[in-house]
């Protein structure tokens, strides 16, 4: 009994969407049905903000034993493309969600939508307007000043019907006429000031081809599409809150099923931008290398960066949902991927900034195979062999001639553990006077301290990773960091814009020396480079030119300590 109580306490409390849904369920609003949808426009790539929405919609569907549709809101042929349709489906699937046989397109409903428009005209609730876009805009008024009624507002039902039919038939050029709802030009809600319902667009649609030359506006398609699909809960972002009045009006006037729209605050992430327009700008101006550049917050970018679907789902779960504006710390996303990869990725050793160590008392030409644990978090991942020889690379940062306090790494006279190998002592240093840097570190090793041997338990402060010089596999390593150096790049100073805050160090390419076990690693494979971070084999990688992307560094309490000193 006590246990049950504590279990109940541990249960996560409901978010406001779940609360609304459960209330509707209790009141038997939709005969117990829960049906959601994810409705992207195929005009760009999905990003982490969409991932939040996808997880929300599909998650809710699953939680309440309901269904979730994938519907493309493809009402604007000039901006949309099958390229985006394909990438969106790939991304949703990759995230781990399944719309089963419920793949829909707003364009599937064009005929039905047209009939709805005719109903409105017949009821005297819509009219054909001949004003230009500029005139319509000028007469709309401002949020605090009412608009002016269109001179075409009083056309007869017959004339409107005739004109609308001819619009569809292609008798009029683009922009010459629109169909407008007849609501209220003085409404305090701008969206109720006779909004445009249909426009003439002689454009080829990616699905309907040239069948139509009039296309419904989003506002005339979205709500009705939800209605047609009998969506119970239309979950969308905050900016559509003001549109809800219009959707409700349309649905009431047409006389069809009314879904319930609920708005939530979109995701914002620190050190990046999330608007499609801005992401497109980065791509077009080649500030990044395409939509799937690993620095992009796009799903395909994150995938290429090495993020897992699980980590993104965890992230979506952990950030919660509410209606207030929010900026999530990038460090939370990083936490999610570290947590996931720590448990699942195998470890290897790689040196990214090498300095040579020569072990003077290790026989020349001798090679020992060291046994290394693949993943200390998961014994089932087994072990591998790593060749050890007289000449090794270690990281240049792991050696200091004059070490500060608490420096646990190598320094003259000091000892360190070489991971999965021997204890090493630094005897002397050879410097390249021209370059002013160390060229060789001469050491001795203690043969009794090989990992696993009785003497190997000797306490040494630090452990270094290493790679045998003669066995090292070279690779291109792309070190990624946050795309922007400003926490909120959108918040630009006078005369600047978000691009002025791009982090110049967001990508550094270096040559890495890796242990030979990764020689045949395939694109998509993930590893932890011990003490450095998590890395994924990039799609650019080939057999004779390995390429790795750094997903995220390991948590590093040393550089933090160093900074604070």
Partner RNA sequence: UGUCCGAUGGUGUAACUGGCAACACGACUGACUCUGGAUCAGUAGAGUCCAGGUUCGAACCCUGGUCGGACAACCA
Give the residue, chosen from 531, 547, 551, 552, that forms a contact with RNA under the rule CB under 7 A: 531
137 is an interface residue for RNA by CB under 7 A: yes
329 is an interface residue for RNA by CB under 7 A: yes
451 is an interface residue for RNA by CB under 7 A: yes
Each as own residue / partner, the long-range contacts of residues 455-461 (CB below 8 Å, 24 or more positions apart, any chain) are: 456/423, 458/423, 460/415, 460/416, 460/417, 460/423, 461/408, 461/415, 461/416
- 38 or 291, CB closer to RNA? 38
* Region binding RNA by CB under 7 A among candidate stretches 29-37, 116-124, 156-164, 235-243: 235-243
- Give the integer Cα–Cα distance in Å for 405 and 244: 63
> What tokens does 108 get?
């599937």
Q: How far is the CB of 546 from RNA (least distance, A)?
A: 20
Question: Considering only residues 466-525, where is the footprint of RNA by CB under 7 A?
Answer: none
63 is an interface residue for RNA by CB under 7 A: no
* Region binding RNA by CB under 7 A among candidate stretches 238-246, 302-310, 351-359, 537-545: 238-246
Give the residue, chosen from 46, 85, 183, 319, that forms a contact with RNA under the rule CB under 7 A: 319
* Region binding RNA by CB under 7 A among candidate stretches 252-260, 329-337, 473-481, 499-507: 329-337
Q: Where are the alpha helices (DSSP H) in 124-215?
A: 133-139, 157-169
- Annotate 220-245 with DSSP letters as a single string: HHHHHHHHHTT-SEEEEEGGGGGGHH
- Give the integer Cα–Cα distance in Å for 468 and 445: 14
- Give the integer Cα–Cα distance in Å for 336 and 332: 6
- By the 8 A CB rule, do 332 and 319 touch? yes
At residue 180, φ and ψ (nearest 5 deg) are -125, 150
Q: How far is the CB of 504 from RNA (least distance, A)?
A: 23
Question: Considering only residues 251-310, where is the footprint of RNA by CB under 7 A?
Answer: 265
Q: How far is the CB of 454 from RNA (least distance, A)?
A: 11
CA dihedral in degrees (167, 169, 170, 176; nearest 10)?
Answer: -10
- By the 8 A CB rule, do 254 and 248 touch? no
Question: Considering only residues 381-410, where is the footprint of RNA by CB under 7 A?
Answer: 406-409
Site string for RNA, 70-89 (x = CB under 7 A): ---x-xx--x----------
457 is an interface residue for RNA by CB under 7 A: yes
Q: Is 28 left (phi over 0), alpha (psi -120 to 50) or beta?
A: left
131 is an interface residue for RNA by CB under 7 A: yes
- 153 or 406, CB closer to RNA? 406
Give the residue, chosen from 30, 234, 517, 528, that forms a contact with RNA under the rule CB under 7 A: 528
- 196 or 438, CB closer to RNA? 196
> What tokens does 348 get?
């290897």
- Count of residues that interact with RNA, criterion CB under 7 A: 98
> What tokens does 53 get?
């929405």
* Region binding RNA by CB under 7 A among candidate stretches 278-286, 300-308, 321-329, 437-445: 321-329
* Region binding RNA by CB under 7 A among candidate stretches 126-134, 151-159, 351-359, 510-518: 126-134
Give the residue, chosen from 82, 103, 238, 510, that forms a contact with RNA under the rule CB under 7 A: 238
* Nearby residues of 451 by Cβ (< 8 Å), 6 or more positions away: 370, 371, 420, 421, 422
- Annotate 263-288 with DSSP letters as a single string: EEPPP-BTTS---HHHHHHHHHTTSS
* Region binding RNA by CB under 7 A among candidate stretches 289-297, 298-306, 337-345, 498-506: 337-345
* Region binding RNA by CB under 7 A among candidate stretches 62-70, 191-199, 440-448, 501-509: 191-199
Q: How far is the CB of 186 from RNA (least distance, A)?
A: 10
Q: How far is the CB of 429 from RNA (least distance, A)?
A: 18
421 is an interface residue for RNA by CB under 7 A: yes
- 320 or 524, CB closer to RNA? 320
- Give the integer Cα–Cα distance in Å for 538 and 547: 6
- By the 8 A CB rule, do 224 and 27 touch? no
- 67 or 338, CB closer to RNA? 338
210 is an interface residue for RNA by CB under 7 A: no
- 219 or 292, CB closer to RNA? 219
At residue 383, φ and ψ (nearest 5 deg) are -130, 170
152 is an interface residue for RNA by CB under 7 A: no
Q: How far is the CB of 447 from RNA (least distance, A)?
A: 12
413 is an interface residue for RNA by CB under 7 A: no
* Nearby residues of 480 by Cβ (< 8 Å), 6 or more positions away: 294, 295, 305, 506, 507, 549, 550, 551
* Region binding RNA by CB under 7 A among candidate stretches 116-124, 227-235, 415-423, 544-552: 415-423
Residues in the chain: 565
205 is an interface residue for RNA by CB under 7 A: no
- 257 or 335, CB closer to RNA? 335
338 is an interface residue for RNA by CB under 7 A: yes
41 is an interface residue for RNA by CB under 7 A: yes
Catalytic residue numbers, as ranges: 41, 266, 276
What SS3 class is residue 94? Answer: helix
Of 39, 89, 19, 48, the C-alpha closest to 266 is 48
20 is an interface residue for RNA by CB under 7 A: no
Of 59, 135, 136, the C-alpha closest to 98 is 59
Q: How would you class 543 by CB atoms within 10 Å of its CB: exposed for 0-12, middle for 13-18, buried for 19 or more?
A: exposed
> What tokens does 166 get?
């001819």
Q: How far is the CB of 164 from RNA (least distance, A)?
A: 14
CA dihedral in degrees (301, 304, 305, 309; nearest 10)?
Answer: 90
Give the residue, chosen from 151, 175, 255, 524, that forms a contact with RNA under the rule CB under 7 A: 175
- 390 or 465, CB closer to RNA? 465
Give the residue, chosen from 243, 313, 390, 471, that forms a contact with RNA under the rule CB under 7 A: 243
Q: How far is the CB of 545 from RNA (least distance, A)?
A: 26
């Amino acid at each position: 009994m006590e246990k049950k109580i504590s279990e109940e306490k541990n249960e996560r409390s409901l978010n406001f969407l779940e609360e609304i849904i459960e209330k509707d369920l209790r009141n038997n609003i939709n005969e117990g049905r829960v049906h959601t949808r994810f409705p992207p426009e195929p005009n760009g790539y999905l990003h982490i903000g969409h991932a939040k929405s996808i997880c929300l919609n599909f998650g809710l569907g699953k939680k309440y034993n309901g269904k979730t549709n994938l519907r493309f809101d493809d009402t604007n042929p000039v901006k949309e493309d099958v390229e985006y349709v394909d990438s969106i489906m790939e991304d949703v699937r990759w995230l781990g969600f399944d719309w089963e046989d419920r793949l829909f397109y707003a364009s599937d409903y064009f005929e039905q939508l047209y009939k709805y428009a005719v109903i409105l005209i017949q009821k005297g609730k819509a009219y054909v307007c001949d004003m230009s876009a500029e005139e319509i805009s000028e007469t709309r008024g401002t949020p605090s000043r009412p608009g002016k009624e269109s001179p075409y507002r009083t056309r007869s039902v017959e004339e409107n019907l005739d004109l609308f039919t001819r619009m569809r038939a292609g008798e009029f050029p683009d922009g010459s006429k629109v169909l407008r709802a007849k609501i209220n030009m003085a409404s305090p809600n701008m969206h109720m000031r006779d909004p445009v319902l249909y426009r003439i667009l002689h454009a080829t649609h990616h699905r309907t081809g040239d069948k139509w030359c009039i296309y419904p506006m989003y506002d005339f398609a979205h709500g009705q599409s939800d209605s047609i699909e009998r969506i119970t809960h239309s979950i969308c972002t905050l900016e559509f809150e003001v549109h809800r009045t219009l959707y409700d009006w349309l649905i009431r006037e047409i006389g069809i099923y009314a879904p319930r729209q609920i708005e939530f605050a979109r995701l914002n992430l620190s050190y990046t931008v999330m608007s499609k327009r801005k992401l497109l700008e980065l791509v077009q101006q080649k500030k990044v290398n395409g939509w799937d550049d690993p620095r992009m917050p796009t799903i395909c970018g994150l995938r290429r960066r090495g993020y897992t679907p699980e980590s993104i789902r965890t992230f979506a779960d952990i950030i919660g949902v509410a209606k207030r504006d929010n900026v999530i710390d990038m460090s939370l996303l990083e936490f999610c991927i570290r947590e996931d990869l720590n448990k699942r990725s195998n470890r290897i050793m790689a040196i990214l900034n090498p300095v040579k160590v020569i072990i003077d008392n290790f026989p020349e030409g001798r090679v020992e195979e060291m046994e290394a644990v693949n993943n200390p978090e998961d014994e089932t991942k087994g072990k591998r062999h790593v060749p050890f020889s007289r000449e090794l690379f270690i990281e240049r940062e792991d050696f200091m001639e004059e070490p500060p306090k608490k420096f646990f790494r190598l320094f003259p006279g000091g000892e360190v553990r070489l991971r999965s190998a021997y204890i090493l002592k630094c005897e002397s240093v050879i410097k390249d006077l021209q370059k002013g840097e160390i060229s060789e570190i001469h050491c001795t090793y203690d043969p009794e301290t090989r990992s696993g041997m009785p003497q190997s338990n000797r306490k040494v402060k630090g452990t270094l990773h290493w790679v045998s010089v003669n066995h090292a596999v070279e690779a291109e390593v792309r070190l990624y960091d946050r795309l922007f150096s400003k926490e909120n790049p959108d918040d630009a100073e006078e005369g600047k814009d978000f691009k002025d805050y791009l982090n110049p160090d967001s990508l550094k390419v270096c040559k890495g020396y890796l242990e030979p076990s990764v020689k045949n690693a395939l694109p998509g494979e993930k590893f932890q480079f011990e003490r450095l971070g998590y890395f994924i084999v990039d799609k650019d990688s080939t057999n004779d030119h390995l390429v790795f992307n750094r997903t995220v560094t390991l948590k590093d309490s040393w550089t933090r300590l160093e900074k604070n000193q």
